[in-house]
Structures are given as C-alpha cells and as structure tokens.
Amino acid sequence: MKILDVFPERCTGCQACMLACSFATVGAFSLTKARIRVVKFEEDGVDIPMPCFHCERAPCLAVCPTRALYRDKEIDAVMLDQNKCIGCRLCMIACPFGAIHYDGVNKIVYKCDLCFGDPACVKFCETKAIVYDTPERLAQIRWEGKAEEVAAAVKEKALVRR
C-alpha cells in the first residue's frame, strides 16, 4: 500500500503541484481550487507542501455526522462523498493539517482523493518534494537523504581541518 509524503527541504514553492491538482480535479488551472496547498514562509525562505495525509486515525472521519468521509480500502485513502456532505465544516476544524477546504459557492467541503491512486501533484513535482510510495521506500529515501547530509558535514569538517 502506498502513502503520500512530503520532503519540505526539496520544495521550491513553484506551485506546480497545486496547478496539476486543480486541473486533475476540476479541469482548470486554479490555485484556489487545488486540494494541496504550498505554505510559504517568506521570512525564512521555506515552502512546505501541505496535502491531506490520509491519516490512519483520521480525526475528520470521526467528526463527520453524515459519514460523507470514509476510507477507501483499495487505495487506503480518506475519501469524500459530496452527495452526503451537508457543509457543516466539522472536518475542517478537526483536520490538524488544514487539508480540507470549503467551496463557498456549492456550500460543501472538498479534499484530496489521491487522484484515485495516481496523484497528479506527485507527477508534476519536478523536485520530488511530494512522493507517493510504500512506507518502506519512503523510509529508505529519508535514510539516504540523512546519510547524504552526514557525509556532506563530514566532508566539510575534513576540508576545514586542512
């Protein structure tokens, strides 16, 4: 089973993920219609992709009074049945990542559906700041990244000694 993960240190803030998401979900390039958001911290020069992480114990699922939110067992994703949504926005309050959004025109919420197992945001992220893979592979990627950081620090320290 694959999961969505982010590597904020790789994000350039280009927002290609947001444009790909909006086009895949609503057929238009619109940053405001994207299910994923890139949060920019201008002072720090940091950009962080913030998708729905489809939590194992998703708080949004627990609070939805109509069961409009449910877990798709095939792709292990928290999905939304918009026909059952009453627009109460309790899920928005419960989500610790701010990954559920409100459509003020249609008076319902919307969220990431992982593009039904083939996330557009991942395909169009040139820097691989957003990855959809197995937990084991994601752990390997993180381990390799940390090993590269340590190697660079050791190399830098060796150069300073010379």
- Structural domain total, the chain: 2
Give residue 160's pLDDT: 63
Let me know whether 4 and 43 are in one domain. Answer: yes
Query: For residues 25 and 79, is the Cβ–Cβ distance under 8 A?
Result: no
**pLDDT one-digit tens code per residue, 29-58:** 999 999 999 999 999 999 999 999 999 999
Residue 107 lies in a domain: no
Give residue 161's pLDDT: 64
Let me know whether 2 and 46 are in one domain. Answer: yes
Give residue 146's pLDDT: 86
Let me know whether 98 and 126 are in one domain. Answer: no
**CB neighbour list of residue 50: distance below 8 Å, 6 or more residues apart:** 6, 36, 37, 38, 39, 97, 98, 99
Let me know whether 42 and 60 are in one domain. Answer: no
Let me know whether 130 and 59 are in one domain. Answer: no
Low-confidence residues of the chain: pLDDT under 70: 159-162
Let me know whether 155 and 82 are in one domain. Answer: no
The CATH number of residue 159's host domain is 3.30.70.20
**CB neighbour list of residue 144: distance below 8 Å, 6 or more residues apart:** none
Query: Residue 120: which domain range?
Result: 1-51+112-162
Give residue 157's pLDDT: 77
The answer to whether the predicted template modeling score (pTM) of the entire model surpasses 0.85 is yes
Mean of all residue pLDDT scores within the chain: 94
